[in-house]
Structures are given as structure tokens and as C-alpha cells.
Amino acid sequence: MSLPRETLIEGLAEPEAMHRMIEQAEEVLRTWQPSWSGFLSGPELEDSRRLESLTELRVVRDGGRPDTERCRLQLSRSDQELPPEPTPISGLRLEGNFLFDRAEPQDMRQALIDLGAKADGLGDLWLRGDRGAQAVCTPEAALHLNGLTGQVRDVMLTVEAVSIDDLQWPAQRLPKRLTSVEASCRLDAIASAGFGLSRSKVIRQIKDGKLRLNWHPVRQASRELKVGDRLQLQDRGSVEVLNLEITKRDRWRVEMLRR
């Protein structure tokens, strides 16, 4: 069975992942065999929502818990009843002494890839103070990485596979509505109000590539935001612009949702 490929990929900035998902979905529909994707990034998950509009396909996503950024998709026929089964997800514990050489999540992720893990075999990853990190991964990645020793710059890193239930997840943020009055709809102004950071710190995050707009890197602090835009800041969640309204004094009342 062929899906409307051109319609599904139209306008996508990076259509490669969608091409793979379409091929996977077509095989699922043809063979009646449900299938799990690898872990998809935030932008890829946004693109994958187009598959949910197909009446013949059922799409279930899971990354370990509801607020994860990276998830796996289970694709199955919508007219097929499936028995309940656990999502094929495992955990990793990464340990090393980073007291004098602080690592970033991307450093840890790259170390796992250098050890042979596939990029789509790794889900969310978070730091555990100066002692290392924990991560979600596929069972195949856990089997491959378990017991290996890697390196982040000069720090030795040991990897241990653990059950998903043994992970110590970062605290979940409850969604919170915020309202702020700003002189403009500039990205740095709204990010400052939404994340509770000074304007200078926001600009530093932009320069370091840690602030994203609609999952894509952004370099212009002066960029104007619109309703529906979402900002993602590494380790600090996301801010969605819900409403923009001009005030009597020609300022902007900004309604946001912080997650």
C-alpha cells in the first residue's frame, strides 16, 4: 500500500526522517506487523504528526515518560487490535568524575555514539551532577554499551545498562501559564520573561546554540516571534507563545505556557 508521500513531506525542512517513517508505515500496512521506530528528535516528532492524520494508521509514541523530548513511535494498522506489551526501552547509567571538567549532555551523547551506539538508539539524556549522566535507549543499544568504557575529553566514562525503572529521572515540570508585558516581540525579550533569565544570559544561550526555536537552532536575538512559536532551552524546558496583544501604551502583552 502506498501512502501520499509528496503530501506528507511537503514543506519539511529535513524530510529524510519522514521518508524512513513512510517506508516503515507502508511495510506495516502491507504485512500487518506492528513496528517500532528508533528514537526521534523533537523536530522529527513534530513532522511525524502528519502520519497521525492517516486513518489507516495508528501511531503511539513513548520515550519512557510523558514529558520526554525524544520518543519511539509504534506504527500499526488502525483496524488491528494489539495485545498490551511494554515499550522496548532500556536505561543507561554513565559514571565519571566531572567535578573539574563539567560535561554537557551533548558531550555524553557523543561519547556513546563514539562507543558504537546509533544516534536513533538513544533517547533523552540528562546529567546527574558532577558524577555523570543517565539516559534512555533501545534494548539493542543497552546490550551493546553495557560494560564499555569511554571518554569525555580527559575524563573516563563507564557505562552500565539498567532497567528503565531504575533510572532517576529529572524533576517533572508542571505546565505554567505566564503573562508579561514587553516592548517588542523579540525572541530575547520573550525568552527572558518565559525562562526567568536576564537578557544577557539569553543572548549567551543563543550564542552557545542551546536555545532553539521550533526545534531549530536560532542565532538572531532580534527575531520577532508569533503566536504558536515554541522556544526550547537546554535543561530548562520550553516556552510556547499563546497570545500576543498590543496594549494602549503600544507595548506587547505576551501570554506564554512554560513546560
On whether both 192 and 157 belong to a single domain, the answer is no
Assigned domain for 156 exists: yes
| pLDDT tens profile 57-112 | 999 999 999 889 899 999 999 998 888 889 999 999 999 999 999 898 989 999 99
**What is the pLDDT, as a whole number, of residue 171?**
82
> Average pLDDT, stretch 3-28?
90
Amino acid at 22: I
Q: Which of these, 108, 71, 109, 110, lies nearest to 88 by C-alpha position?
A: 71
CA neighbor of 70 nearest in space, from 48, 45, 94, 37: 45
Tell me what percent of the residues of the chain surpass a pLDDT of 70.
Answer: 99
> CA torsion 134→158→112→131, rounded to 10°?
40
Q: Can you give the residue range of the structural domain that contains 35?
A: 5-77
Predicted TM-score (pTM) of the model is: 0.82
The answer to whether position 84 is within a domain reads: no
- Domain boundary among the residues 48, 77, 106 is at 77
Across the chain, mean pLDDT equals 93
Residue recorded with cell 520573561: 193
For 57, counting Cβ atoms within 10 Å of its Cβ (0-12 exposed, 13-18 middle, 19+ buried), the class is: middle
CATH number of domain containing 49: 3.30.1370
Are the beta carbons of 54 and 29 closer than 8 angstroms? no
Same domain assignment for residues 196 and 244: yes
Question: Which cell numbers in the block locate residue 24?
Answer: 516503515
> What average pLDDT score do residues 196-203 get?
92
Taking the C-alpha atoms of residue 253 and residue 74, their distance in angstroms, rounded to an integer, is: 41
* pLDDT grade for 150, boundaries at 50, 70 and 90: very high
| pLDDT for 13 beyond 90 | no
pLDDT-based confidence at 142, cuts 50/70/90? very high
Q: Which residue has the cell 494489539?
A: 82
Averaged pLDDT, 144-157: 96
- The x, y and z cell numbers of residue 84, run together, are 498490551
Using pLDDT thresholds of 50, 70 and 90, give the confidence band for residue 43: confident
Looking at the fold, whether 158 and 181 belong to one and the same domain comes out as: no
pLDDT tens-place string over residues 111-131:
999 999 999 999 999 999 999
Residue where a domain terminates, one of 166, 199, 224: 166
Looking at this protein, which amino acid is placed at residue 86? P
Please identify, among 166, 190, 209, the residue that sits at the C-terminal boundary of a domain. 166
Q: Quick one: 151 and 123 in the same domain?
A: yes
Is the CB of residue 117 less than 8 Å from the CB of residue 144?
Answer: yes
| CA angle 226–232–236, rounded 5-degree value | 130
- Whose cell is 563539567? That residue is 102
pLDDT tens-place string over residues 201-223:
999 999 888 898 988 888 889 99
The Cα 111–Cα 116 span in angstroms is 9
In CATH, what number is assigned to the domain containing residue 139?
3.30.70.330
Are both 161 and 208 inside the same structural domain?
A: no
Q: What are phi and psi of 130, to 5 degrees?
A: -100, 15
| Unique residue bearing C-alpha cell 537546554 | 234
For the chain, the domain total comes to 3
- Do 158 and 183 lie in one domain? The reply is no
Which residue has better confidence, 46 or 244? Answer: 244
pLDDT at residue 158, as a whole number: 98
Angle between helices 199-207 and 187-195 (to 10 degrees): 110
